[in-house]
Structure 1
Amino acid sequence: MATQFYDRLSNDLTQLLESSINYDVSIEVEEDANIYKVHSIILQSRSPYFKKKFDEITFNDDYVKALKLTNISVKVFDVIIKYIYGGKIILEKLENSIIFDFLIASNEFELDELVEHLQTYLVNNCASWLRIKFAQIYRISYQVKSFKIIRDFCNNIITNYPNTIFECENFNSFPEDALISILKRDDLQLEEGKIWEYIIQWGKAKSPMLPTNLKEWTGDNFLTLKETLKGLLPYIRYFSISGEDVIKKIHPYQQVLDQQLFLDINIKFITPTKPIVSTVLLPRKILNTKLPKNTSILLPSNIITDEHALEISSWIDDKETSYIKNNPYEFKLLVRGSRDGFHVKTIYDVCNKVSNTVIVLKVENTGEILGGFNPLEWINNISQLKKTQGSFVFSLKTENLKNSILSRVVEKFDCAIANHPKHSWLGFGDALCLRNDLKIEKKCYCMVSSAYPKLIRSEEFISPEVNNCSDISKKFLFSVEEYEVFKILPGK
């Protein structure tokens, strides 16, 4: 039996990389123009990509081959090159987004074992992040065929929770082949009539010149939609659609279907036993047991993860330890900045007379996730300070913050909530205040607050107490990259 000394080998090769002795390749990573002096024999023996590249490049006068790499960061390439030499990676200290970029680069460099390992790591350790970035991740997983592990992860979510895709903001831009793969699934947990509606929506979005009012459509308009949908239409289970949906949903778009198919749908509906010509696809295997609506996979957020939601829920229930699973609450999305607008007036208009709301926001440039819970109603026509002992503000755990910070209202309960629509201002005392347009105008702030004494940001970002917000130094003001407001409902 052979004795293996892999650690020593790894260390020696890593030292060779660091020393650059006898290097014959210089790789310039265009971000900051970093130059890596490396050895062609090692790179081409480890990576088919580099073998092909080096075969295409001739030596310069110094007997060095020069290569420029674009679309890769120094941070990612640094991990890649150390893996190539030493066969080691440490992922725990890397941001999730960097790990995913690392995966994409590993695939480009044809590092097969690394591609498989990184996918497994992301699915097992970064599932919440994958869900937040679901539309983007899913699209990439279908563009890159070797991302099978992530693609299977996404398909499992789509099968059981199809709204994750069909109701996402980017649904209308989804590639056709990805939608076909979803429609082919026998276990897609969605009524066929609803699937038809989503496909029509997708097709109409591809042809924005079509009239908005269906009554104004011409035969040519229907032909345009039919041509757009020709790759998707064969995978609809038409004969599983209810009679009511045939009348309401299929009939208005009958010209999109072949004449014989539409005739057979009607025959099957009116005379079920009469033979038909069209191919009949088997009904989908819909589960008898309904999946819980408050499952973490369905969390409708682009900011917080399911773990964040569980933590917030435990704070609402005043638990000493966070819920781990089975969230007792449903987070119903009411407002999202990128969808509905960033002005505070929008929050007041949509959330008027709505109680038990959570506001979460991502701070521009810092990546911090701040927020607050208000058990009282927001009122859009009265400016007042409101009294409660149930509110709190927080800063959620991120890649840069090890543990979340919770600050409950402990005194000055009559100033716990600042409800000031007239001045386009809302706040949790002075601990977290949102003003005007949250994205364009840099006017949000956190101030030292006796009502919420525990600071939710580093002291360098907290304004000392002042009488008027106009007196706050500009260095304490911030804008918002994104925000969301949720209505907290009992779980179903």
Structure 2
Amino acid sequence: MTSKFLAELSNDYERLFETEIGYDVIIYTGEEPNVKEIHAHSNILCIRSQYFRSAFSNEWAEKRDGKFIFRKPNISPQLFNIILRFIYCGNIELEKLQAPLLELLLKRDDLNLDEVEIWENLLKWCFVHQNMENDPTKWSGENITNIKRELHKFIPLIRFYDIEPADFFYKVYCYKDILPQDLIHDLLEFHIVPNMKSKANLPPSRKSNQIDSTLIGSRHIPLFASWIDKKDSSHYNKKDTPYNFNLLYRSSRDGIDTRSFHRNCDNKGATIYIVKIKNSTQLVGGYNPLDWNGGLWKTTADSFLFNFTDKQNVSTAKVSYVNIQDHAVYCYHNWGPTIGNLYCDSNNRWYYKIYSEGERYPNIGIPTRFEVEDYEVFQVVRK
């Protein structure tokens, strides 16, 4: 019943896009003499697209006769029509595109799709054009050669490093015979070897919720947001996360001393900090729903500590909510971020202290003493 309703709803939005009933947005696409006027609805664009949500909130957005005016000379009318259709109803029929238009589409950074979906749609396009079955076990050597030739110019446009490990294994690695072997090697190394960074000269990430971090990725954000809202069972996903995480401080960039921490993070409201333990894959840290200015202990019921034994694998995460609320967060001008049992003292020494009188936070395996490779602090702001 639900799936039928969603399908009908998608069809209704597609009809609205095609009929243009009640449109209040005019978008001029393409360059002279091939400019085309496209009509749309601001409420749908705002709800479905972060780009348009920001554009409409800009006080300088052009408006004429009650309609918003946008000009997109750098996008062909046909390509923009495809993008809008997807915004309205989630439907992109890549298999119907000609190769040049598909290439233009894949070069864009604002598709608002998970990268694995883009990869799967590219494969679908290829198999339609090759009139082949999507079953690598049945491919001949000639089939593999033809697929490689068809995909050759598109492979560099896929942001493979943005694909989650499980999706890489089940949805990319099984096609290793049609991908460049050096790419497969690099991706395996990236997913398996601790602390391995992605290779240089890659296209920018397409992730709409990409976070400015050298320690975590977008897969961590829904988990943090779920912990903040104390969602025990159904966690947020990447598309419905209700918070922005704005980088305030990075110790390797801003100085690994407590004064730099306070200069960047005081009076910023709720924050979360992530600490990379030296010579390991472990991340620890905590969430402070208050602020870092003021003195001594602060009281809250909403703070927590966390521990990822492997930063690449979010399933290794553990979270620990405050037990003793009047010792939830410690703020002092010459101490670093300190929450409950997890300290960063005035000499920038990090340690986890276990108290005999009771745990301020339940123990989740944070080391009692460790050295820090880097740490970051993010302001948490509801969207």
TM range (shorter): 0.3 to 0.5
Task: Work out which of the two has the higher radius of gyration on C-alpha atoms and give 1 or 2.
Answer: 1
Instruction: Say which structure is richer in helix.
Output: 1
RCO (CA 8 Å, sep 6+): is it higher in 1 or 2? 2
The TM-score, its normalising length taken from structure 1, stands at 0.37
The TM-score, its normalising length taken from structure 2, stands at 0.47
